[in-house]
Amino acid sequence: MKYRVMSLVLGAVIALGILPGAAFSEETAPTVAEAEEFLAQAEQKLRDLWILSGRAQWIASTYITEDSEILSAKMEEDVIRTVVDFANSAARFDGLELDYEMDRKMKKLKLALVLPAPNDPAKTEELTRIKAGMEGTYGKGKYCKGEECLNLTELSRVMSSSRDPEALQDAWTGWRTISPVMRKDFSRYVELGNEGARGLGYDDLGSMWRSNYDMEPDAFAAEIDRLWTQVSPFYEALHCYVRAQLNAEYGDEVQSLSGPIRADLLGNMWAQEWGNIYPIVAPEGQGEAVDVTALLVAADTDERDMVRYGEGFFTSLGFEKLPDSFWEKSQFSKPRDREVVCHASAWSLDFQDDLRIKMCIEITEEEFTTIHHELGHNFYQRAYNQQPILFQDSANDGFHEAVGDAIALSVTPDYLVKIGLLDEAPVGGSEIAPLLKMAMDKIAFLPFGLLIDQWRWKVFSGEFGPEDYNGSWWQLREKYQGIEPPVARSEADFDPGAKYHVPANVPYTRYFLARILQFQFHRSLCEAAGFEGPLHECSIYGSKEAGKLLGDMLAMGSSRPWPEALEALTGSPEMDATAILDYFAPLKGWLDEQNEGQTCGW
């Protein structure tokens, strides 16, 4: 999921006549008054820029044409150059004693770009053209066999529902035919992005991304490793159990009882979440998970109804309803007359109330959860809209992703009863089935959320070169996920490009952090709501106390370092995976029992 904020989507500058730093002399020592004036100018200009650019990016995503790609790329090109100029001009004030807010704004300004360009107009134009082209290639991607062409949505349906290994392999390999053409452009994008990052004082683009976490880059990388160490034993236990069930379903010729799992057997195009194969692994005599998809279909739910449910959760906590413009301007379904980017995303077009989501909604449990997630971005965006423009972002990008997911943890049977989708919640019985069903998404995702940027960081640093893009990709997928491709892959392939966030230049560690943080958030919000039972049974739906606690943290935006925002919500400044272990504790014990006698690991 992607959210549109200033650090992700940039706009046009030429029409605004901006010349960063022009009003300030380089010959005299800078003053605090000059720094204040500089920041005021930068914030006003950037607000105007990002509003224009957001509209261009929206059109490029919802009307994919050569013209919309060119216009979006041109606007981004001009703005990247301008923001780089602002960042370079900000360096003039290094060493000047500024108050906390001004100092933090200077740091935010230097890190306002996810993709900095070299200080060369021709290279800036080349970089933005490459990025727009790769994203457009992804959005238009189809796998054609004769006269039949299937897009990602259609191929994903095969991946989620088929139990035919040949059909799964065909869909899996078919989608990956779209990405080899990106390989050369991606290599050049790495070169240019690194050059831009070094021009701003960072070792490479990966180091710049990691610097945006109120920590030194190496310290942040170590923090990620620490969190993974907390949760990896749980993932290994789930992997061991699922592999055994797949072996029982397909036999040794398709899935061995040892070693990695075949990537196309896990119900998802990227094997990032495994919930679609829950029927294969569902335990007998351990209760039943509620089939939310069946409930939605039985209620004759349409796309807008799905979004209304999500909005209703937030309003039950005391948040205001979404503006009318949200319902008028959002994309809820795939148009029949044009190509669009269906990848779910949430947008704030004016940094105030022009909030939107862009989805091609399917009436499924997965999409129901996704909608809660995307609306979490929108309500976060509106909560911090009174902050200065440079602070209109989440405490760190994992926070933005975690908010909606924390809300989705409250989609319990009791909640479904309260909104009229379920007649009555199941009484008694085992808790293992619903916990396993959730773990097939939440726990299964953890190593995938980690490895995307582990791969990119090593690509940006030069540890993984262009000659080994695909080999290194599968090296990490086996190391962290314990999966392998269903067919042999080579350097003629470019499988990283078959995942949206790679060609679209969207950092991915945020999603790993979100999986950790959402359970921390949930535990604290449940405490605020006065809930005293098992954590996995808690729903904060209707709790104004929990809503107040959440809303106060959201309103902070990025005005304070993320540990302070985390402490405001949870009482602790440290990210901690124990909440996820608490939530799934009954399941972990059960998995260990099921895995007795198995050779786990890969």
Catalytic amino acids? Answer: 343-344, 373-374, 377, 401, 501, 511
Average pLDDT, integer, range 499-515: 94
Tokens found for residue 361: 């909604």
- Residue 143 phi, psi dihedral angles, 5° rounding: -110, 120
Q: Which CATH architecture has domain 292-431+514-590?
A: Orthogonal Bundle (1.10)
Query: Which has the closest alpha carbon to 551: 436, 421, 407?
Result: 407
Average pLDDT, integer, range 96-108: 94
pLDDT of 470 strictly over 50? yes
pLDDT of residue 15: 29
pLDDT of residue 25: 54
pLDDT of residue 118: 87
pLDDT of residue 428: 62
pLDDT of residue 361: 93
Q: How far apart are CA 61 and CA 4, in angstroms?
A: 12
Average pLDDT, integer, range 173-199: 96
Average pLDDT, integer, range 180-198: 96
Average pLDDT, integer, range 479-502: 97
On whether the CB atoms of residues 249 and 492 are closer than 8 A, the answer is no
Q: How far apart are CA 302 and CA 312, in angstroms?
A: 15
Average pLDDT, integer, range 152-173: 96
pLDDT of residue 22: 44
352-402, pLDDT tens digit by residue? 999 999 999 999 988 998 999 899 999 999 999 999 999 999 999 999 989
Query: Which of the residue ranges 35-44, 290-299, 393-402, 422-431 would you say has the lowest mean pLDDT?
Result: 422-431
Q: Could you tell me the pLDDT band of residue 12, with boundaries at 50, 70 and 90?
A: very low
pLDDT of 435 strictly over 80? yes
Q: Which of 11-25, 132-146, 328-342, 474-488 has the highest mean pLDDT?
A: 474-488
Beta strands in 300-407 (DSSP E): 345-348, 355-358
Average pLDDT, integer, range 187-196: 96
Q: Could you tell me the pLDDT band of residue 5, with boundaries at 50, 70 and 90?
A: very low
Q: Could you tell me the pLDDT band of residue 27, with boundaries at 50, 70 and 90?
A: low
The 10 Å Cβ neighbour count of residue 133 is: 18
Average pLDDT, integer, range 332-361: 92
119-134, pLDDT tens digit by residue? 888 998 899 899 989 9
Residue whose entry in the numeric block shows the structure tokens 């994008």: 189
pLDDT of residue 14: 25
pLDDT of 237 strictly over 70? yes
From residue 468, give the alpha-carbon distance in Å to each of 184, 210, 214, 241, 455.
Answer: 13, 23, 32, 32, 11
pLDDT of residue 75: 80
pLDDT of residue 427: 72
Identify the sign of the CA torsion 101, 103, 109, 112: negative
Q: Which position has the higher pLDDT, 558 or 25?
A: 558
Q: How far apart are CA 481 and CA 450, in angstroms?
A: 10
**What is the percent of the chain where pLDDT is above 70?**
95
Question: Where do the domains of the chain lie?
Answer: 8-141+179-201, 292-431+514-590
Query: Which of the residue ranges 47-61, 168-182, 308-322, 416-430 would you say has the lowest mean pLDDT?
Result: 416-430
pLDDT of residue 406: 94
pLDDT of residue 429: 61
Buried b (16+ CB within 10 A) or exposed e, 536-564: bebbbbebeebbebbbebbebbbbbbbbe
- Residue 347 phi, psi dihedral angles, 5° rounding: -130, 145
Whole-model pTM: value is: 0.85
Query: Which has the closest alpha carbon to 495: 172, 143, 150?
Result: 172
Q: Could you tell me the pLDDT band of residue 83, with boundaries at 50, 70 and 90?
A: confident
pLDDT of residue 416: 94
pLDDT of 323 strictly over 80? yes
Q: In the 8-state DSSP scheme, what is residue 24? A: S
pLDDT of 3 strictly over 90? no
Give the pairing of strands 345-348 and 261-262.
unpaired
From residue 178, give the alpha-carbon distance in Å to each of 130, 138, 181, 260.
Answer: 16, 7, 7, 25
Q: How far apart are CA 338 and CA 486, in angstroms?
A: 33
